[in-house]
Structure 1
Amino acid sequence: MDSLELVSPYLFSYKKKNFVVQEGLLPKDLDALQHVEIWPSDIFLVAYPKSGTAWVQQILVQIMDFYYPEQVEDASNRVRVPWLEASVQDNAARDRPDPRLFRTHLPVDMLPHGIQAKRVKVVYITRNPKDVLVSLYHFGFSWNMLESPKSFESFFEQFLDGNVFMGSWFDHVQEYYTARDQMDIDLRGEVVKLCAFLGKNLTEEAIDQVVEMSTFHNMQKNPKANYKDLLEKQRYKSATMRKGIAGDWKNFFTVAQNKCFDQVFEERMSDLPIAFIWDTKQ
C-alpha cells in the first residue's frame, strides 16, 4: 500500500497526487473510497480547487430544490453537497435524499469505480488557470490547513510545477476533459444546459430564481453558501469569496510571468480544444 508523504504542513502526497488530509483520512480510507457504493442517480461535482465549486454547488442545490420541493432542507450547501472523501467515514452520506449530491477535488484515478461502471452524471467545471492560480494563492492565507505562500513569485513557480494543493492543474483538467462542463459569464444559459444534462426540467420562472440566487453578490451574503460558519469556527482565517470575476490575474502577473504561463499552457494544453474566459471584458 502506498504511504502518505508529507509535502508541507498538512499537505500530503498519495499515489503521486497532492491533497490535504481531511478529517484524519488515511491511505486505507482512500483505497476504500474506490469501493464506496454508488447509486445510478448520484450526481458528482468535480473541479480543481478554486475553479468555482461553491458557485456550481449553489446552482445544483437550487435546481434540486425546485425539482424536488419536498426535499428542501434548512442546511448549508456544505451539508447538502458533502465531500465524497467523507463518505468512507460518515455513513450518513449514504442516507441522503435521492438523488445524492457529492463534491470532490480528487483526480479521476482516485474516484470510486462505480462512477464509471454505473455511468452516473459527473459535472466537471473548469476556470481559466491564471485566475485559479491567484485564487489558490489567496486561499493559502485563508484556510488553516494550508501553509501560507511565502511570496507570489514562489507560489507561481510551485503552481506551474504542480507542487500545490491537489497537484497539477494541467494534469487534473486533462484527465477529466471528456467529462467537462464549463461555466462562463452567461450564467442563465449555463443553468439551462446544466438542467438539461441532469434531466431536470424547470419552469422559466424557476430558472430565473436559480440564476438570481446563484449570483456572486447573493452568494456572498448567503450564510448557506458563503462558508461563514467555517470562518466562525476558525477553520478559515478570512472570508473565501473575494471578487468572483474573471481577469483578476492581471493584478498579480508580471509581464514575464504571463509570458511564461502562456508558454507552459501552450505546451501542456494545445491538444485540447478548451476555450477559457480570461477576462470579464471578453
Structure 2
Amino acid sequence: MADNELPMNLREDNVSEETKKLISSLPTDKDCVGKLCKYQGCWYYYNTLQGVINFQNNFQAQETDIILASSPKSGTTWLKALTVALLERSKHHDGHPLLSDNPHALVPFLENNLYLKSSTPDLTKYSSSSSPRLFATHMPLLTVKEGLKGSPCKIVFMCRNAKDALISLWYFRCKYQKLEMTRGILESMFESLCSGVSFYGPIWDQVLSYWRGSLEDPSRVLFMKYEEMKEEPYAQLKRLAEFFGCPFTEEEEESGGVEKILELCSLPSLSDLEINKSGKNVNGVDYKFYFRKGEVGDSKNHLTPEMESKIDMIIEEKLKGSGLSF
C-alpha cells in the first residue's frame, strides 16, 4: 500500500519543520507499516507524533473532561460506547446517539483525530452544558498529563491480554490496508510486540503508566481489564458509573437499566447498526472493521505455543514487582 493510501495517522506527510527537527534527535526504527520514532518512551508513526505534539502544546483541558485511554485493540470501541451510554442514559427518549453515530465519532481520539490535522481543532461540538467532554487516546499517562496541564479531569484506562490484542490488530490492519491475512505479517507484528518497537509500544510501559497512576490517584485514574469486563460486565459497568460520579440508582437497577446499556453496547447490537456497517472514520477506515469477535483467548487459535510462551514470559518479566498481572 502506497504511503498516501494509508490512514493519515500512519503516514509521514503532515509533519512540521519543528517536529522534523525533533524527530532527528529521537530514536527511530520501522515496522511493517512505516517509520517509527520514540518520544517520551513511546513509539509513534511520524504523523501521529505531530498530533501528540499539537495536543500537548495546545489542548485546553476542562475540569469535567473525561479521557478514555487504552492500548490499541483492547476494547476501545466498547469502552467508548459504554461511557456514552452511561452519561447519556437519562436524556434520550427518541434517538440515542449510539444508534446514529459510531463510538469513535462520538469520542474522538486526541492525537489520531482532532490534533492530527490541526494544532487548533474546533472542539465546540464536543461541549455541552449537561455532559462532560469525552476524548480518547492511546498515549501513555505521562504524555497525556503533559497535555492536561494539571487539570483534575478523570481518566479511564482499558487494557487487554497482549496476545489477544495482537491478533485483533493483525485482522484490523490487514482489513484496512487491504492485505492478505498472511503468517508473515503476523510474525512481523509478533516480533515488533516482543521487541517493544511497535505503534504505541512498548505495551508493558504503556499499561504500567496507567496502573501506577491508578494506584497513586484512584479517584482520578481508573484501571480496567477487558477480560474482567467480559467476565462480569454488570459489576464493571457499575464500577465505571461510580467512578464518573453517576452511580446507578436502586430504581435503575431494579428496572433493568444496567442490562439495557450492556445490550445497547454489545458487539451484536452495535455491529448490526447501519452506521457501523457502511460508515468510515475521519482517517478513512471502515467502521465495520472495528467489530470482529471480541473474544477472550482467541490468540490460541492463531499463535503457536512457542509464540504464546514468549509473549507470556516477556510480559511477566516486565510487570514483575508491579502487582499487576494478566
The answer to whether 1:221 aligns with 2:272 is yes
Answer with 139-148 or 176-185: which moved more. 139-148
Higher helix share: 2
1:79 to 80, 84, 105: 105
Q: Is the 8 A contact 1:17 1:166 kept in 2?
A: yes
The answer to whether 1:181 aligns with 2:224 is yes
- Flag the 1:14–1:269 CA change in 2: closer, same or farther, 3 A: closer
Report the 3-state secondary structure (helix = DSSP H, G, I; strand = E; otherwise coil) of the residue aligned with 2:279. Answer: helix
- Which runs of structure 2 are paired with 1:145-164 in the superposition (5 Å)? 150-164=184-198
Q: What is the CA–CA distance in structure 1 between the aligned matches of 2:66 and 2:80, rounded to whole Å? A: 11
Report the 3-state secondary structure (helix = DSSP H, G, I; strand = E; otherwise coil) of the residue aligned with 1:181. Answer: strand
- Which runs of structure 2 are paired with 1:14-93 in the superposition (5 Å)? 14-15=38-39, 17-20=42-45, 27=50, 29-35=51-57, 36-69=59-92, 73=97, 74-85=100-111, 86-88=113-115, 89=118, 91-93=121-123
TM-score, structure 2 normalization = 0.73
The alignment covers a number of residue pairs equal to 271
- Flag the 1:228–1:32 CA change in 2: closer, same or farther, 3 A: same
Residue 274 of structure 1: how far off its partner (Å): 2.6
Residue 13 of structure 1: how far off its partner (Å): 1.8
Report the 3-state secondary structure (helix = DSSP H, G, I; strand = E; otherwise coil) of the residue aligned with 1:122. Answer: strand
The answer to whether 1:270 aligns with 2:324 is no
CA deviations 1:176-215 (Å, max 9, x no partner) are: 1133222422111111100000011332232221111122
Residue 101 of structure 1: how far off its partner (Å): 0.4
Q: Which residue of 1 aligns with 2:242?
A: 196
CA deviations 1:90-132 (Å, max 9, x no partner) are: 6332442240000111122322535361221101011111111
CA deviations 1:217-272 (Å, max 9, x no partner) are: 21221345x474128x9635973322111010111222222222222122111222
Q: Which residue of 2 aligns with 1:102?
A: 135
Q: Which residue of 2 aligns with 1:280?
A: none
The answer to whether 1:3 aligns with 2:23 is yes
Q: Is the 8 A contact 2:172 2:289 kept in 1?
A: no
Q: What is the CA–CA distance in structure 2 between the aligned matches of 1:148 and 1:18, rounded to whole Å? A: 24
Q: What is the CA–CA distance in structure 2 between the aligned matches of 1:42 and 1:31, rounded to whole Å? A: 19
Report the 3-state secondary structure (helix = DSSP H, G, I; strand = E; otherwise coil) of the residue aligned with 1:92. Answer: coil
Unpaired runs of 5+ in structure 2? 1-20, 215-222
Unpaired runs of 5+ in structure 1? 277-282
- Flag the 1:175–1:60 CA change in 2: closer, same or farther, 3 A: same
TM-score, structure 1 normalization = 0.83
CA RMSD of aligned residues (A): 3.1
- Flag the 1:189–1:242 CA change in 2: closer, same or farther, 3 A: same
Q: What is the CA–CA distance in structure 2 between the aligned matches of 1:146 and 1:10, rounded to whole Å? A: 15
2:36 to 5, 12, 16: 12
Q: What is the CA–CA distance in structure 2 between the aligned matches of 1:124 and 1:167, rounded to whole Å? A: 15
Q: Is the 8 A contact 2:72 2:138 kept in 1?
A: yes
CA deviations 1:43-91 (Å, max 9, x no partner) are: 0100010010001111011112214449964433222101112443263
Q: Which residue of 2 aligns with 1:120?
A: 153
Q: Is the 8 A contact 2:271 2:277 kept in 1?
A: no
